[in-house]
Amino acid sequence: MPSERPLAPSTLSVKDLPWQIVWSREACTLCGRCTAVCPVHAIELAVFRKRLLEPPADFGTVTAGATRSFYGIRQRTDPAYACVGCAMCNLVCPNNALRPVRTDEADKLRFHVDRGGQPRRRGGRRNVPGTVLDRIKFIRISMLTDPALDAGRHEFELRTLLGRVLPPEAALRHEREHGWVPPVREIYPLVIGGMSFGALSPNMWEGLQLGVAYLNEELGMPVRISTGEGGCPPRLLRSRFLQYVILQIASGYFGWDEILHAIPKMKVDPCAIEIKYGQGAKPGDGGLLMGHKVNRLIAAIRGVPPGVSLPSPPTHQTQYSIEESVAKMIQSMSMAWGFRVPVYPKISGTSTALAVLNNLTRNPYAAGLAIDGEDGGTGAAYNVSMNHMGHPIASNIRDAYLTLVRLGMQNELPLFAGGGVGKTGNLAANAAALIMLGASGVQVGKYLMQAAAGCLGSESDRCNICNIGLCPKGITSQDPRLYRRLDVDDVAQRVVDCFVSFDTELKKIVAPLGRSTSLPIGMSDALGVDDPRIAERLKIAHVV
Amino acid sequence: MSDIPQPGSEAFHRISGRLQGERISSRLLEEAIQRAVAEGHRRLHVEAFGQHGIGGRLRSADGTPVLVHVSGHPGQRLGGMGFPGTRIEVDGPASDDVGWLNAGAEIIVCGNAGNGVANAMAQGRIYIGGNLGARAMTMTKHNPRFEPPELWVLGSVGDYFGEFMAGGIAVVCGHEAQRPDNVLGHRPLVGMVGGKVFFRGPHGGYSTADARPAPIDDPDWRWLEEGLARFLRAVGRSELLRRLAVREDWQLLVARRPSEKKTLSVRGIREFHRECWDAELGAGGLIGDLSSADRGRIPVITTGELRRFVPVWENRVYAAPCEASCPTGIPVQRRWQLIREGRIDEAVDLALAYTPFPAAVCGYLCPHLCMQSCTRGAFGLAPVDTTKLGQASLRARPPELPPLAGGRVAVVGGGPAGISVAWQLRRRGIEAVLYELQGRLGGKFTRVIPESRIPREVIETELERVRRILPQVALQQPLGREEFLRLREEFDAVVVAVGARKPRSLPFPGIERAVPALAFLEEAKDGRAAVGRRVVVIGAGNVGCDTATEAFRLGAREVTLLDVQRPAAFGKERRAAEAAGARFRWPVRIREISASGLRLEGGEEIPADTVIVAVGDLPELGFLPESVAVDRGYIRVDENFRTSDPRIYAIGDAVRPGLLTEAIGAGRKAAEAIAAAFSGRPPETERRPMIDRQRVTAEYFDPRIVEFADVNQCGSQCLSCGACRDCGTCVAVCPRGAIRRKGLEGDRYAYEVEDALCIGCGFCAGACPCGVWSLRENDPMA
């Protein structure tokens, strides 16, 4: 930038930016890779003036020196081109000549990201590192008090139930009186949460699905994956792989006509139907798939014209109250598959979760409740919704479970917890903590983007540009120039690796509890935390 | 065998596990056994009552054979930590952990044994004449200093057999097995890393990740055959030897070596993708029916159509700021380019295509919007000095004129605007006749502008150039409406360029004492004006400044410029007035002008000998017919300078007071509009959008150059905004060698990008000194 440029309120220096490119003139080869790869054009080749001026050794010959120029990489300071810290430049640099470095103080860019009155929108998680789940430890190590098990040696059947589990006598009575009992699926307790076809690139989506199919068919792990709201490719609907899929329906109803048309041709029933009412990462905020991501393919799957932006409103238009809306949706979706498929709602973590839960306990068609906490990820949301709205999952799931306990229904209505599971990489520990707090299973999304596809996003606000279709790893882009960086098989392999290693870690946690064939759901005497307030709130042991 | 003493005989030292009918503790029995061995007994008969660890740890025998015969019910860990030389015999069954941590004892159990037999055994042999419970032969070792431990079982073993077996040999005969369908039990050999398992009979699977079948070779078989005989003899079932010693009935499992574990063949993802996924979904997988686009992996750095961005050589697509800001529309930067190319005459002559006054205006009188907008200035460099080029244009040669091709236009007013439109009309082959109202061509040039601002000969030279080309009629008397209407009839169009010569009046008493500025300047220029010692100029604009400068020239000692607001004067006029000593006062409100001076609101008096009013002028438009609309004293025109009467155009100060260059530019635009109207085509608008200055690279230039020696230096320091200077920097900078210069016909050329090489890094755009290269988003891919 010319130093003579006029000063405007949003005139920023490199120092004002959250990510600063540190570039070494010494190491740079001027190969052009970094500027070619930068998703947001934050860097460019520039000409720098360099004055060569030497102090006079002899005042008889004072010279003005010479003005020279050199080429180098310059970081742009226009807020529209601010570096997002993805570090793709560093990835492609053959000489490690440049990298983004996080500013050492609160950046100034944050005050200027609302040009045109448009508040900041982004993807990722709320920008708060850490999670209370990481503080929970497993304190019940049953070396001698229970038959201790060996995670590496013993057989484990770590399965959970998705569906309404009636008490035996009620089940018999139901069967006798109604000729029907609620469908129940025995599934792996780590579920891949809803990420839509459209939000994710085709290669990412197919990679996840392929990995899930492999886990089921080659490794015998009954892993399930939610479609997210964006429809489902017709071929998948008509394949045997549908049984591994949880079809999500949400307020946008994208692709549901295709799903209905496919029902008569389905070889198998889907695992379940998830009714999305809210997303933990952005409670009260709807979805928006920008028009430039709605290409011909996405349009075909979603059943809309190409090139238009697709809002998923934060609310369903035809639903007006808990009683009315939940019952109505569960009925409709159950009917679609002849009451053979479990149907459950997914809500964002909220102080009103218990009201929903209470309602579900009285509805025999409700197959469970998924609660998505504030640490979840999203592809696109308003920053304010992400950073400042939502409810932590730990206390929400705990309250819900203890409510079920009070009703004596803790084994009847499974709770699924999501939102920040594995946020800091501790997937199994976080999942096990939630399970012992009362979840029957956990949902995970963002973790898999990181682990299975190398997502660069972080809670230090790195990258997080999922919403603009420029994902440098090709995870959330519909541009073949970007998503073809991602190989379907590689993603699938990573999904498999993640689940298999998660399985081992989960066994390491539950084996000392003497559990091998049933998950320690709600086994909160195994949990401890070093903070008395957390302990009191979650009703677990305070250990120091 | 008769020479072998039988238990119960005198040869055996008898130790009972009961004392006076009560079971003694395991500690007391252990002490009794250890004491007996220490005392030299080598044949013991222990009557067991569930005591722990019988027969183990007989260290004091020091390797000499000790026989421990156990009757009754041995407790757990029979022979635990057994020593070499110890032989333990049990007639019936035994409890859990027989031979636990066995370090060399031979333990014979004729009946069944419980769980955990041989757990962690490292040496010795265990013979079991029945079946075993769970977890036998687990964690066994083979220390290379000793023979491997052995476990022989006549029947079957229980679940989780051989877990973490690290050495030793197990033999499972499967005879009268407790589980005839599965002699190895459930999930055997998990974590096995060493040793061998011979077995006979069916099995229900084992950990194939850890163990593998192996052929039984001759040494194996000899070992097994000999061992079998010994085992059967020990457990008293020698009659079975013939039945069991059938080589083909036996199988052998051995631990996989680490290298073998790695080569386990399971179906990989790629095979699964092909053989299961695509087989079920169809070719192309999940969306193969919806899209045939290639989704295969591409590198991060791509070329050709896979580039996200492509460079474009946008030579002369955008106008340089100097050109874009020149109201006359002179392609200033093109002229500097011609100078760089050594074509100085062309550069000079080019101006006359745009203005008849390149020397007078560009060289002297213009405030030089071109220089004010020069990109160099935006980057802290001295703008290229246009005055040098302007002054050089005095010798410009007029362009060759086309023959008159019909159409006649009367131009009323021979000032800068009128001359410009006539000049431009003539250049387009249209006859234009100049009607000069003041009897003298040149308008402001000749009448008003002080000679301090421009040498008289410059004006005269340029006017002479005009006179040679354009016919003129000097009107001797003021133009009336009738004459004007006659011109309107006589000509195909009339252009009104009469300027603004009627001073604005001010509404305070005594204004009639003041002299209008234009009249003063005219008189001053003609040498007819005189001023007093103290002069007050009302109105501190540029005309006021010229007035002040002239007043000083004519002998004034004090000149004060008054204004009601911040003085609008700028540039050379203001600098000249200030240099001469003019003082500016604002804001002031004048109440009246008297003979002695001015009185201000508030009562202050400013003494003045001469008062001059310079608050602007209005055009004299009495001659205009009703058909020409007037707005607040000025003629109303459209964007082509056409008035409400379609045959009448108006330009210059009669339309809007402005700069000379604006009047000249208006003449050029009006001429084009008239020419277009005559031939029934839309007017050409030659204006290109102005280049974004940020595209231009000033860093190649030295900011310490603040003055230019001559036009050649000006040319070399011009940034050439938006126009290729053919320097080849892009070719040199491109990291992939993807840019080439291509010569075209004549001296034309183009720079081209080889798509197959280009990675879209934008280095060309970043390095281009002129901002010609830009990086645009590649076309979307399906």
For the segment A466-511, what is each residue's pLDDT rounded down to a tens digit? 988 899 999 999 999 999 999 999 999 999 999 999 999 999 898 8
In this structure, the answer to whether residues A360 and A494 fall within a common structural domain is yes
Q: Residue B301: phi, psi to the nearest 5?
A: -100, 120
Nearest-Cα distance to chain A for B311, in Å, is: 11
Q: Comparing C-alpha atoms, which of B518, B516, B568 is closest to residue B542? A: B568
In this structure, the answer to whether residues A112 and A136 fall within a common structural domain is no
**Taking 60 as the threshold, does the pLDDT of residue A337 lie above it?**
yes
CATH number at residue A193: 3.20.20.70
- Sort out which chain B residues have CB atoms less than 8 A from A300's CB and list them: 290
In this structure, the answer to whether residues A79 and A140 fall within a common structural domain is no
In this structure, the answer to whether residues B138 and B283 fall within a common structural domain is no
Which of A34, A233, A239 is the closest to B287 by Cβ?
A233
In a domain, residue B1? The reply is: no
In this structure, the answer to whether residues B625 and B613 fall within a common structural domain is no
In this structure, the answer to whether residues B564 and B534 fall within a common structural domain is yes
Q: Comparing C-alpha atoms, which of B764, B733, B749 is closest to residue B316? A: B749
Dihedral class, residue B201 (left if φ above 0, else alpha if ψ from -120 to 50, else beta): left
In this structure, the answer to whether residues A113 and A145 fall within a common structural domain is no
In this structure, the answer to whether residues B441 and B529 fall within a common structural domain is no
What tokens does A147 get?
Answer: 């038959």
Contact B295 A203 (CB under 8 A): yes
Which of B294, B300, B306 is the closest to A37 by Cβ?
B300
* B 183-222 near A (Cβ less than 8 A): 187, 190-191
For the segment A237-286, what is each residue's pLDDT rounded down to a tens digit? 999 999 999 999 988 888 888 899 999 999 999 999 999 988 888 888 87
Contact B277 A210 (CB under 8 A): yes
Closest alpha carbon within chain B to A491: B269
What tokens does B694 get?
Answer: 């940020």
Nearest-Cα distance to chain A for B594, in Å, is: 48
Determine which helix (DSSP H) or strand (DSSP E) holds B196, and give its type and residue range. strand B194-200
For the segment A148-158, what is each residue's pLDDT rounded down to a tens digit? 667 766 777 78
**Taking 90 as the threshold, does the pLDDT of residue A401 lie above it?**
yes
Contact B380 A4 (CB under 8 A): yes
Nearest-Cα distance to chain A for B519, in Å, is: 42
- Whether residue A400 contacts residue A347, with contact meaning beta carbons closer than 8 Å, is answered with no
Q: What is the pLDDT of residue A423?
A: 95
Give CA–CA dist A172/B613, Å, rounded. Answer: 110
Torsion angle in degrees (nearest 10) through CA of B418, B419, B421, B425:
140
In a domain, residue A298? The reply is: yes
In this structure, the answer to whether residues B566 and B593 fall within a common structural domain is yes
End residue of a domain, out of B627, B658, B679: B679
Query: No. of H helices and E strands in chain B?
Result: 23, 34
Query: Is the CB of residue B302 less than 8 Å away from at least one CB of chain A?
Result: yes
- Sort out which chain B residues have CB atoms less than 8 A from A4's CB and list them: 378-380
Nearest-Cα distance to chain B for A249, in Å, is: 20
HEC secondary structure over A366-402: ECCEEEECCCCCEEEEEHHHHHHCCCCHHHHHHHHHH
DSSP A169-190: HHHHHHHHHHS----EEEE-SE
In a domain, residue A3? The reply is: no
In a domain, residue B72? The reply is: no
Give CA–CA dist B702/B285, Å, rounded. Answer: 61
In this structure, the answer to whether residues A93 and A155 fall within a common structural domain is no
Nearest-Cα distance to chain A for B702, in Å, is: 6
In a domain, residue B310? The reply is: no
Dihedral class, residue A103 (left if φ above 0, else alpha if ψ from -120 to 50, else beta): beta
In a domain, residue B781? The reply is: no
Which of B164, B281, B736 is the closest to A239 by Cβ?
B281
What tokens does B109 get?
Answer: 């159990």
For the segment A424-435, what is each residue's pLDDT rounded down to a tens digit? 999 999 999 999
End residue of a domain, out of B592, B618, B644: B618
Closest alpha carbon within chain B to A299: B290
Q: What is the pLDDT of residue B399?
A: 81
Q: Comparing C-alpha atoms, which of B437, B423, B453, B439 is closest to residue B501? A: B437
Which of B164, B704, B733 is the closest to A67 by Cβ?
B704
Q: Which residues 6+ apart lie within 8 Å of A409 measured at CB?
A: A361
- Sort out which chain B residues have CB atoms less than 8 A from A68's CB and list them: none
Domains of chain A: total: 2
Domain around A529: 132-542
End residue of a domain, out of A118, A141, A163: A118
Give CA–CA dist A47/A50, Å, rounded. Answer: 10
In a domain, residue B588? The reply is: yes
Q: Comparing C-alpha atoms, which of A133, A157, A223, A152 is closest to residue A431? A: A133
Chain Cα centroid distance, residue A396: 18
Give CA–CA dist B382/B705, Å, rounded. Answer: 7
Q: Comparing C-alpha atoms, which of B628, B208, B641 is closest to residue B420? A: B641
- Sort out which chain B residues have CB atoms less than 8 A from A35's CB and list them: 761-763, 766
Contact B301 A37 (CB under 8 A): yes
End residue of a domain, out of A56, A83, A118: A118
End residue of a domain, out of A59, A87, A118: A118
For the segment B29-80, what is each residue's pLDDT rounded down to a tens digit? 999 999 999 999 999 999 999 999 999 999 888 878 999 999 999 999 999 9
Q: List Cα–Cα distances, B158 to A352, B76, B189, B232, in angstroms.
A: 54, 17, 12, 21
Q: Which residues 6+ apart lie within 8 Å of B101 measured at CB?
A: B80, B81, B119, B120, B121, B122
Listed in order, strand segments (DSSP E) in A54-183 are 66-75, 98-102, 121-124, 137-138, 160-163
Contact A209 B302 (CB under 8 A): no
Contact B272 A218 (CB under 8 A): yes
CATH number at residue A79: 3.30.70
In a domain, residue A123? The reply is: no
Q: Comparing C-alpha atoms, which of A508, A527, A349 is closest to residue A438? A: A527
In this structure, the answer to whether residues B520 and B610 fall within a common structural domain is yes
Three-state SS at B515: strand
Average pLDDT, chain B: 92
Q: Residue B636's CB: how many other CB atoms inside 10 A?
A: 13
What is the pLDDT averaged over residues B91-98? Answer: 95
Closest alpha carbon within chain B to A30: B735
Q: Residue B281: phi, psi to the nearest 5?
A: -90, -25
Q: Comparing C-alpha atoms, which of A150, A222, A228 is closest to residue A189? A: A222
Nearest-Cα distance to chain B for A14, in Å, is: 17
* B 751-780 near A (Cβ less than 8 A): 759-763, 765-767, 769, 778, 780
In this structure, the answer to whether residues A171 and A73 fall within a common structural domain is no
Q: What is the pLDDT of residue B2?
A: 43
- Sort out which chain A residues have CB atoms less than 8 A from B307's CB and list them: 36, 481
For the segment B174-214, what is each residue's pLDDT rounded down to a tens digit? 999 998 999 999 999 998 999 999 999 999 999 998 999 99
In this structure, the answer to whether residues A148 and A114 fall within a common structural domain is no
In this structure, the answer to whether residues B450 and B578 fall within a common structural domain is no
In a domain, residue A4? The reply is: no
Contact B301 A33 (CB under 8 A): yes
In a domain, residue A5? The reply is: no
Give CA–CA dist A75/A82, Å, rounded. Answer: 8
What is the pLDDT averaged over residues A202-213? Answer: 97
Its ipTM equals 0.93
- Whether residue A465 contacts residue A455, with contact meaning beta carbons closer than 8 Å, is answered with no
* B 498-517 near A (Cβ less than 8 A): none
Which of A31, A88, A484 is the closest to B297 by Cβ?
A484
- Sort out which chain A residues have CB atoms less than 8 A from B273's CB and list them: 210, 488-489, 492
In a domain, residue B30? The reply is: no
What is the pLDDT averaged over residues B468-496? Answer: 87
What is the pLDDT averaged over residues A329-358? Answer: 93
Q: Residue B40's CB: how many other CB atoms inside 10 A?
A: 10
Query: Is the CB of residue B286 less than 8 Å away from at least one CB of chain A?
Result: yes
β-partners of residue B94 are: B113
Q: Residue B513's CB: how many other CB atoms inside 10 A?
A: 16
Residue type, B6: Q
**pLDDT tier, A324 (very low <50, low <70, confident <90, very high otherwise):** confident
In this structure, the answer to whether residues B513 and B600 fall within a common structural domain is yes
Query: Is the CB of residue B291 less than 8 Å away from at least one CB of chain A?
Result: yes
- Sort out which chain B residues have CB atoms less than 8 A from A301's CB and list them: 287, 290
Give CA–CA dist B470/B462, Å, rounded. Answer: 12
**Taking 80 as the threshold, does the pLDDT of residue B7 lie above it?**
no
In this structure, the answer to whether residues B282 and B195 fall within a common structural domain is no
In this structure, the answer to whether residues A178 and A82 fall within a common structural domain is no
Torsion angle in degrees (nearest 10) through CA of B262, B264, B266, B268:
30
Which of these ranges, A125-129, A288-292, B274-278, has the smallest mean pLDDT?
A288-292
Q: Which residues 6+ apart lie within 8 Å of B647 measured at CB?
A: B488, B492, B493, B494
In this structure, the answer to whether residues A366 and A256 fall within a common structural domain is yes
Contact A4 B291 (CB under 8 A): no
Q: Which residues 6+ apart lie within 8 Å of B127 measured at CB?
A: B106, B107, B108, B109, B152, B231, B234, B235
For the segment B138-160, what is each residue's pLDDT rounded down to a tens digit? 999 999 999 999 999 999 999 99
Contact A37 B297 (CB under 8 A): no
In a domain, residue B555? The reply is: yes
- Whether residue A47 contacts residue A74, with contact meaning beta carbons closer than 8 Å, is answered with no
For the segment B488-537, what is each residue's pLDDT rounded down to a tens digit? 999 999 999 999 888 887 888 888 888 888 888 888 888 888 888 999 99
In a domain, residue A49? The reply is: yes
Determine which helix (DSSP H) or strand (DSSP E) holds B435, and give its type and residue range. strand B431-436
Q: What is the DSSP letter of B146?
A: S
Give CA–CA dist A498/A511, Å, rounded. Answer: 19
Determine which helix (DSSP H) or strand (DSSP E) holds B412, and give its type and residue range. strand B408-412
**pLDDT tier, A1 (very low <50, low <70, confident <90, very high otherwise):** very low
Query: Is the CB of residue B308 less than 8 Å away from at least one CB of chain A?
Result: yes
In a domain, residue B253? The reply is: yes
In this structure, the answer to whether residues A153 and A91 fall within a common structural domain is no
Q: Which residues 6+ apart lie within 8 Å of B503 measured at CB?
A: B516, B517, B518, B519, B613, B615, B616, B617, B618
- Chosen for mutation from B119, B274, B287 (greatest number of chain A CBs closer than 10 Å) is B287
In this structure, the answer to whether residues B548 and B666 fall within a common structural domain is no
**Taking 90 as the threshold, does the pLDDT of residue A452 lie above it?**
yes
Domain around B513: 505-618
Determine which helix (DSSP H) or strand (DSSP E) holds B630, and give its type and residue range. strand B630-631
Q: What is the pLDDT of residue A421?
A: 96
- Sort out which chain A residues have CB atoms less than 8 A from B762's CB and list them: 32, 35-36, 41, 44-45
Which of B191, B273, B308 is the closest to A481 by Cβ?
B308
End residue of a domain, out of B214, B243, B262: B262
Q: Is A221 exposed, middle or buried (0-12, 13-18, 19+ CB in 10 A)?
A: buried
Query: No. of H helices and E strands in chain A?
Result: 16, 21
Q: Residue B700's CB: how many other CB atoms inside 10 A?
A: 16
In this structure, the answer to whether residues A171 and A219 fall within a common structural domain is yes
Give CA–CA dist A380/B368, Å, rounded. Answer: 51
Closest alpha carbon within chain A to B278: A210
Domains of chain B: total: 4
Query: Is the CB of residue B279 less than 8 Å away from at least one CB of chain A?
Result: no
Q: Comparing C-alpha atoms, which of A97, A112, A76, A89 is closest to residue A1? A: A76
- Chosen for mutation from B277, B306, B381, B779 (greatest number of chain A CBs closer than 10 Å) is B277
Give CA–CA dist B522/B525, Å, rounded. Answer: 5
In this structure, the answer to whether residues B511 and B491 fall within a common structural domain is no
Give CA–CA dist B593/B590, Å, rounded. Answer: 8
In this structure, the answer to whether residues A107 and A196 fall within a common structural domain is no
Q: List Cα–Cα distances, B441 to B436, B466, B652, in angstroms.
A: 6, 9, 15
Give CA–CA dist A155/B191, Å, rounded. Answer: 13
- Sort out which chain A residues have CB atoms less than 8 A from B697's CB and list them: 46-47
Question: pTM of the predicted model, to two decimals?
Answer: 0.83
In this structure, the answer to whether residues B568 and B427 fall within a common structural domain is no
Q: Residue A137's CB: how many other CB atoms inside 10 A?
A: 15
For the segment B282-299, what is each residue's pLDDT rounded down to a tens digit? 999 999 999 889 999 999
Q: What is the pLDDT of residue B146?
A: 94
Q: Residue B69's CB: how many other CB atoms inside 10 A?
A: 22
CATH number at residue B489: 3.50.50.60
- Sort out which chain B residues have CB atoms less than 8 A from A211's CB and list them: 269
What tokens does B434 get?
Answer: 């100049």
